[in-house]
Amino acid sequence: MNPRQQGFTLIEIIVVVFIIGMAVGVISISVGGNAAADKARKEADEFMLQTTYVAEQAVLKGETYGLFVELRPAQDVDAQEQWCYIWRRVRDRAWQDLTELTPHCIAEGLAIEFTIDEELWEYDPELEFQDPVIGFFPSGDATAETEIAIFASQTNMDDEVETQKFKLDATGEIHWVNEEERLEAERKGR
């Protein structure tokens, strides 16, 4: 080879491509979102919308509404159990599904938990008829003070998923604790 020839050797090019690939990999991992946290927030948003709607409808229509929750078994080998809920109202002395709100199953990997009057509610699959977990009355009141949590039931150690918390008081007011704290922090930060 002539000492005056210039250029890069194959080894040098491979090393540079490897370094660029590693840098892109590190950046994409650190910038990528937390899918489990996004799912939990999305489910919390859906729960808040439905609960607020039902609380308002109870007063406007003068009817009693209840939230029914069940744990559905996994449908296939790779699937997980899923928490599902449906809103019903009392008509003709029986609970009837709301046609305007379809049954909703929380994303796989998430769970929902209810603490009613400081006692943890437990789902009993053996019961033929489940009672509503929470209810709203025409007066605007709710059945009891209830804390609700939507959280990741199974996470990787690297994933930090904030539990989405709600508080329902006996007067029928529901508060999304995380969202109120976030808005308060934003307001103070300005």
The total domain count for the chain is: 1
- Residue 25 domain-assigned (yes or no): no
- pTM for the model stands at 0.76
Which SS3 state, helix, strand or coil, does residue 62 take?
Answer: coil
- Residue 27 domain-assigned (yes or no): no
Q: Note the pLDDT of residue 168.
A: 95
pLDDT per residue over 140-185, tens digit each? 999 999 999 999 887 544 456 789 999 999 999 999 999 899 888 8
Other residues' Cβ atoms within 10 Å of the Cβ of residue 92: 5
Q: Note the pLDDT of residue 36.
A: 76
Q: Where are any strands of DSSP class E within 74-145?
A: 82-91, 94-97, 104-105, 110-116, 119-120, 134-136
Which domain range does residue 97 map to? 34-189
- Residue 23 domain-assigned (yes or no): no
pLDDT per residue over 97-121, tens digit each? 999 999 999 998 899 999 999 999 9
Cα 85-87-92 angle, rounded to 5 deg: 140
Would you say residue 30 has pLDDT above 60?
Answer: no
pLDDT per residue over 78-89, tens digit each? 778 899 999 999
* Structural tokens at position 8: 């890069």
Give mean pLDDT, residues 37-63.
93
Beta carbons within 8 Å of 116's beta carbon, 6+ residues apart: 133, 134, 143, 144, 145, 146
